Structure 1
């Protein structure tokens, strides 16, 4: 690269190619939520995209900062925090027969 502009633009907009795919799937699947047998999941289905959107924005902001500083420290902290939450999810609880 002869100048820093393309790299800077790539760092800022790396997540944009996935947006049309996510929106099209949301438009395709949303009518299924309003069928009578799905009324019990409307609350979680409404809260899920809001939480996912907020976390996605935080993650994108985090990654932009990571690419700007070019140091692996923020990514290492993220990996440690995310990894510390996983042990309970990776090993399913064994159920005893009653």
Structure 2
């Protein structure tokens, strides 16, 4: 993907606001009622997985496979839950990615 295509892709991402829009954009089939219930968990897990490889940001195929993986993990009952300890030592925020833990339900 050249720089122009990458910039277009990143511009497209800025326009997406819901889990359903992300899934449609990346051509991923999904169960609408499941995503309606789990949309926040899906987007959190997607973001967490993306942040694990910051050098791949802007790579359509990486985003697509990462979103597909996040969706499948939720279908299997694996979710991210916020840790109740109140955040890490550096940011003191419960929204910090390091304060999230994987939980199997």
TM-score grouping bracket, smaller chain normalisation:
under 0.3
Bigger share in helix: 1
In terms of Rg, which structure is larger? 1
Q: What TM-score, normalized to structure 1?
A: 0.28
| Structure in which a larger fraction of residues adopt strand | 2
TM value normalised by structure 2: 0.26
